[in-house]
Structure 1
Amino acid sequence: MPGLLPGLIAGARALLFDFDGPVTPFFEHYRTAPIAQDIKTLLSERGVPLPPDVRASADSHGLLHLLRSDVVTAAKPGPEDQKTLELAEGIVTSHEYRAARHAVPSAHIEALVTALAGLGKRLVIVSNNADGPVRAYLERVGLGTHFEAVFGRDPHELRRMKPHPHSVEAALRHLGVEAADCLLVGDQLTDLQAARAVGVPFLGHARNDAAARLLRREGAAWAGTSLLPLQQAAEGLMDPN
Structure 2
Amino acid sequence: MTALVLFDFDGTIADTAPDLGAAANKQRERAGLPPLPLDVLRPYSSAGARGLLRCALNLTPADEAYEQHRLQFLADYQAAMTVDTCLFDGVPELLEQISTQGLAWGIVTNKVTHLAQPIVTALGLDKDCAVLVCGDTTAHAKPHPLPLLHAAQQAGFGTDRCLYVGDDIRDIQAARAAGMPSIAAAYGYCGPDHPVDTWQANHTAHSARDMWPMIKQLMNV
TM-score band by shorter chain is 0.5 to 0.7
Determine whether 1:204 maps to 2:193.
Answer: no
Post-superposition Cα deviations, 1:182-230, rounded to whole Å, max 9, x if no partner, equal 110111101101111111110111138x98x944443211002211112
Aligned partners of 1:234 and 1:206: how far apart in 2? 15
How high is the TM-score relative to the length of structure 1? 0.63
Shift of 1:151: 0.7
Report the equivalent of 2:13.
Answer: 23
Within a 5 Å distance, the mapping from 1:26-175 to structure 2 comes to 26-31=16-21, 33=24, 60-61=49-50, 67=61, 92=74, 95-96=77-78, 98-154=80-136, 160-175=140-155
Aligned partners of 1:233 and 1:23: how far apart in 2? 16
Post-superposition Cα deviations, 1:76-113, rounded to whole Å, max 9, x if no partner, equal xxxxxxxxx8x956963762462234311111000000
Post-superposition Cα deviations, 1:6-62, rounded to whole Å, max 9, x if no partner, equal xxxx9x61011000011111123532545778xxxxxxxxxxxxxxxxxxxx95145
Report the equivalent of 1:4.
Answer: none
Aligned partners of 1:172 and 1:204: how far apart in 2? 19
Task: State the secondary structure of the residue aligned to 2:125.
Answer: coil
Q: Percent identity?
A: 22
Shift of 1:130: 1.7
Q: Are the structure 2 counterparts of residues 14 and 28 from structure 1 closer, same or farther at C-alpha, using a change threshold of 3 Å?
A: same
Choose 1 or 2 for highest CA Rg: 1
Aligned partners of 1:97 and 1:149: how far apart in 2? 25
Structure 2 counterpart of 1:124, which letter? Answer: G
Given that residues 96 and 129 in structure 1 are in contact (C-alpha distance below 8 angstroms), is that contact kept between their aligned partners in structure 2?
Answer: no
CA-atom RMSD in angstroms: 4.0
Determine whether 1:188 maps to 2:177.
Answer: no
Aligned partners of 2:48 and 2:117: how far apart in 1? 22
Given that residues 164 and 183 in structure 2 are in contact (C-alpha distance below 8 angstroms), is that contact kept between their aligned partners in structure 1?
Answer: yes
Given that residues 20 and 77 in structure 2 are in contact (C-alpha distance below 8 angstroms), is that contact kept between their aligned partners in structure 1?
Answer: no
Shift of 1:155: 7.6
Unaligned runs of 5+ residues in structure 2 are 29-46, 54-59
Report the equivalent of 1:230.
Answer: 211
Structure 2 counterpart of 1:229, which letter? Answer: D
Would you say how many aligned residue pairs link Structure 1 and Structure 2?
Answer: 190
